[in-house]
Amino acid sequence: MVPQLTAIFSFWNLVGLTATLLYLYWWRRPHSKFPPGPRGFPLLGMVPFFGKAPELAMKKWSLEKYGPVMSVRIGRDEVVVLNTFDAINQAFVKQSATFSDRPWVQMFCSQTKHNGLVFRKYGETFKAQKHFALKYLREKGVAKRKIEHTLNQEGDRFLDFLRSVSDGPVDIKFEVGRDDKNS
C-alpha cells in the first residue's frame, strides 16, 4: 500500500511542479526593458477583461496604473500599446527604424514563405521592395485621380462576373488575376 501512496504523491508533485513552471513562464516578460502591463489569464491574456470596447479598457489601464506606454497580453502574444500622441510620435517618427519591424505571425509566414511586404522584417530587402512597390503603384495611377475611375470599372466588371455565375460556390482565383488586355 505504501508504494501506491508514494506513486500518487510523486504524480501530484510532478503536476504541481509542471503547473508552477508553466505559471512562471506565463508571468515573465519578454525582456527586462519591456513596458509594464496587466498579465491576464494563461492562454486568454486580458481578452476577458476588454468588454465591448478594448481600446477604452486599455486607455483606462494606461491612465490608472501603467502609463502611456504599456504592454497587454492578448492570447499568447504580448502587444505594446501606445496611448498618447507623444508616445506614438516618439515611436513612429523619432524612432521609426526601431518600431518599423513587423510581427512574426506563423500563419502568414508559412503562407507567404517570408515574401511580400506586409510581414517582411524591416531591413534593406524590405526597403527595396517597398520602394519598388510604391514606384510601380505610382506608375499605375495610385494617388492620382484616374485610379478612382479604373477601380470603379474593375469593381463593376467583377460584380458582372459574380452575377453571371451560378448560385453555388465560385472560384474567383482566375477571374481576379485575369488581365483583359492579354485575353
| Residue 135: inside a domain | no
Same domain, 46 and 83: yes
Residue found by looking up cell 497587454 in the block: 72
Same domain, 8 and 52: no
Does 147 have pLDDT greater than 60? yes
Domains identified in the chain, total number? 2
Helices (H) and strands (E) in the chain, counts: 8, 2
| Residue 115: inside a domain | no
Res 183: pLDDT: 46
- Interval 137-161 mean pLDDT: 79
| Residue 73: inside a domain | yes
The range of the structural domain enclosing residue 2 comes to 1-30
| Residue 176: inside a domain | no
pLDDT band at 114 (very low <50, low <70, confident <90, very high): low
Question: What is the C-alpha to C-alpha distance for residues 148 and 138, in angstroms, rounded to an integer?
Answer: 13
| Per-residue pLDDT tens digits for 134-143 | 888 887 777 6
Same domain, 21 and 41: no
Same domain, 22 and 65: no
| Residue 171: inside a domain | no
| Per-residue pLDDT tens digits for 5-52 | 676 778 888 888 888 887 777 667 676 778 888 888 877 888 888 888
Same domain, 87 and 71: yes
